[in-house]
Chains A and B, each alone.
Chain A
Amino acid sequence: MNTAGRIAGERAGVAVRESLAGRRNRSVAAGVFLGYLLLSTVVGLVALAVLLATILHDGLPYVDAMLFTNSPSADPERAGARPAIIASILVAVVLIATALPIAVGTAVYLEEFAPKGNRLIDLIELNIQNLAAVPSIIFGILGLAFLVRGIDLGPVLLAGALILGLQMLPTVIIASREALRAVPDSVRQGGMALGATRWQVVWREVLPAAIPGIATGSILGMSRAIGETAPLLMVGAATFVSFNPGLLTQYTVLPILIFQWIKLPQEMFQGLAAAAIIVLLVILVAMNGFAIWMRNRYERKW
C-alpha cells in the first residue's frame, strides 16, 4: 500500500475509535452529511430541468417556419435565423475537413509512433492538456491577430471556423488517444508478429477498432464548437446577415445570433432568442445522441 493509503487507513482507525466514544454525534453528522450530498446532486438536476423548462416555455411559441426561412431583421415580426443555421452547418463541414484529420493524426502519432519518454513528446502532451483549458476568448484573440487582421482574411466564416477548429483540437486529440489506448496491445503484437509494419497494423486493425471512440470524441468536440460564442465575437461574426453565407463571406452563426437577440431591448427578441436556442439545442442533442448511439452500438469490451 502506498503512503497516502496508509495515512488514510490510520485516519480511519482514529475515526473508528472516535466513533465508539460518541456514536450518537456521529450518526447526526452522518445524516447531515448525506443531506448535503443529496442537496448537491439535486441542485444540478433541478437547474437543468428549470433551464430546459424556461427555454421551452419562452421559445416554443416562436418556433415557426419563419425562423427557418427568414433572415435576421430589425423587425421582430419578420426576423428569422436561416443564414445562421446555414453558417453553423458550414462551420461543421469546415471542422470535419480541417481540424478532425489533424486531431486524429496527432492522436495516432502520439499513441502509436512517438518515442516514449522523449522530452519533446512530453512537452507536446503537456501543451495539449494546457490548450484544452485555455479560455476560448484567447483563441478569439489568436484569430483576430493572425487571421482577420494578420493575413487580412477579414471577418469571414472561414476565419471563424478555423479558430473553432484549433480550439476543438485538444478535446478530439484527448478522446481519440483514449480510444486508441483502449485497443489492447495484443492486437498490435499479433499483427507485428505476422511481419506487418507498424503502420499496416495501425491502419488495418488499431484504427478501425478505435473508430467508435474517436467518432464519439469528435462529435462531442464538434458540438461544443457549434455552440461556442466568445471567440467568434473576436473574429467578427456579424448579426444582420441577410444573405446565405459562403466560406469567404460575412456570417453569423446560431450562438452569435442568439447572443445579439438577447441583447436587444424589444421583448419579442427574447422569445426569438429562446426559439433559436431550441433549434441549437435540438441540433446538439441530435449530434450527441448519435454519438452515444454509436458508442453503445460499436463499443467493444476487450
Chain B
Amino acid sequence: MAITSSTTNGGGRPQLAATSRRLGERAIIGALALAAVISVLVTVGIVVALLIPSVEFFSEIPFAEFFGTSEWAPLFEPPAFGVPPLIVGTLSTTFWACLVALPLGLGTAIYLSEYARPRVRSTVKPVLEVLAGIPTVVLGYFALTVLTPFLRALGWQVEIFNAFSAGVIIGILLLPTVTSLSEDAMTAVPSSLREGSFGLGANRFQVSTRVVVPAAISGIIASFVLAISRAIGETTIVLLAAGQLARVSFWPGESVMTMTAFIAGTGSGDVPTGSIEYKTIFAVGLTLFVLTFILNIISIRMVRRFREIYE
C-alpha cells in the first residue's frame, strides 16, 4: 500500500480518491431499487385496472342508480345495477365473522400474554397459527359440509348457503390474525407497568383489564380493523358457503351474495371484454378496494402510533 509516499502529495488528485467507479455495484443497487419500485407499480396497476373500466361504467350507470337502488341483476334482462344488496351481503358475513374473531381473538391474546405459562404459550401459539395457514377452500368445505348440516341438526332451518355459516368460519380464519397482532401489542407493554400495579395489590384480572388492555389499545384496535378488512375481502369461503343470491337480507340463515362473490362469480365466467357486465366487475372491485384501503390505512396508522409510544 502506498501510504509512505503520500506525505509528498501536493495538490492534484487526492491519493484517497476512489480507485474504481464500482459500476457493477451501482448497477446492482439500481436493480434492487427497481425491485422496490415494482411493489408500487402493482398498486398503480390495481388502481388503473379498476379505475378506467369503472369510469366507463359510471358514465353509463349513474352513481345514484349504483348506490341508491336495491336490485342487483346485471346479467339479466333488463339489467339492474343497485349495489346495496352486495354491500348488505358483505356486511352480513363480516358481522358474523367479527362476532367470532374479535372477542375470541382478544380473549386468546389476553390469555396467552397475561395468564399462560411459557410452555403453554409456546405450544398453543404455533397450533393456532396453523389455522391461519389453512387454505380458504378447505375452510369453505368445512362451512358447507360440517357447520351448515350441524346447524340444521340443531333444529335451525338455515338455507344450504347462508351468511351465518360463512361468517362464522371466516371468523375462525381470522382468529389468529386478531390473536397474534393483539398479543404482540400486549407483550410490548413494558412489564414495569404490570409490576407497578401488582405492587399496589392488584390481581391478574385487574392488571389485564385496567392496565395492559388500555395500554395496548391502539394495537388491539389495529388488529380488529385489519380483521374487518380481511373479512370484507374474503372470497372463497363466501362463494362456497354463502351462495350467490343478491338480496337485501340481514337474516343470518339466508343466502346472500357478497361483493367478492359477485366479482369471482362473474370474472370466472365468459363475459365479453368491454361489455357493461364486464365493467360491473371493476365498479364493484373499486368499491371493495376503496373500502378495504381505508380500513388498512387506519390499521397501519394505529400500529405505527402504538410503536411510537413503546419503541
Contact = CB atoms under 8 A, between A and B. Distances in A.
Contact of A134 (B137, B211, B289): B289
Contacts of A7: 214
Interface string B246-268: 00000000000000100110011
B288 interface: yes
Interface string B77-95: 0000000000000000000
A130 B215 contact: no
Interface string A159-201: 0000000100110010000000000000000000000010100
Interface stretch (B3-11, B66-74, B194-202): B194-202
B39 interface: yes
A166 B43 CA distance: 10
Contacts of B40: 123-124, 127
A113 B35 CA distance: 13
Contacts of B124: 41, 45
Nearest to B37: A124
Contacts, number: 301
B162 interface: no
B270 to A, nearest CB: 9
Nearest to B201: A16
A11 interface: yes
A13 B240 CA distance: 51
Contact of A44 (B108, B289, B297): B108
A48 B128 CA distance: 8
Given A12-B196, A41-B107, A102 B38 contact: yes
B211 A8 contact: yes
Contacts of B210: 8, 11-12, 14-15
B49 A140 contact: no
A214 interface: no
B45 A33 contact: no
A230 B235 contact: yes
B111 A233 contact: no
Interface stretch (A68-76, A241-249, A256-264): A256-264
Residue in A12, A40, A103, A110 whose Cβ sees the most chain B Cβ within 10 Å: A12
A227 B135 contact: yes
B133 A12 contact: no
Interface in A78-135: 101-103, 105-106, 108-110, 113-114, 123-124, 126-131, 133-135
Given A44-B104, A262-B144, A8 B214 contact: yes
Contacts of A1: 192-193
Given A13-B200, A102-B38, A137 B296 contact: no
A213 interface: no
A40 B131 CA distance: 14
B300 interface: yes
Interface string B133-148: 1111111111011100
B146 A54 contact: yes
A11 B209 CA distance: 10
Q: Name the interface size band of chain A.
A: 35 or more
Given A133-B230, A134-B292, A12 B211 contact: yes
Nearest to A149: B273
A12 B79 CA distance: 60
B236 A229 contact: yes
B109 to A, nearest CB: 8
A19 interface: yes
A105 B32 contact: yes
Nearest to B112: A41
Interface of B: 22, 25, 28-29, 31-40, 42-43, 45-46, 49-50, 53, 103-108, 110-112, 115, 124, 127-128, 130-131, 133-142, 144-146, 172, 175-176, 179, 190, 192-193, 196-197, 200-212, 214-215, 226, 229-230, 232-236, 239-240, 260, 263-264, 267-268, 273, 281-282, 285, 288-289, 292-293, 295-297, 299-300, 309-310
Interface of A: 1-2, 4-5, 7-9, 11-16, 19-20, 26, 29-30, 33-34, 36-41, 43-45, 47-48, 50-51, 54-55, 58, 101-103, 105-106, 108-110, 113-114, 123-124, 126-131, 133-142, 144-146, 149, 166, 169-170, 173, 197, 199, 220, 223-224, 227-230, 233-234, 236, 255, 258-259, 262-263, 270, 273-274, 277, 280-281, 284, 288
Given A124-B36, A134-B46, 4 more contacts: A41-B107, A55-B142, A229-B136, A258-B138
5 contacts: A2-B310, A227-B137, A229-B137, A233-B268, A262-B145
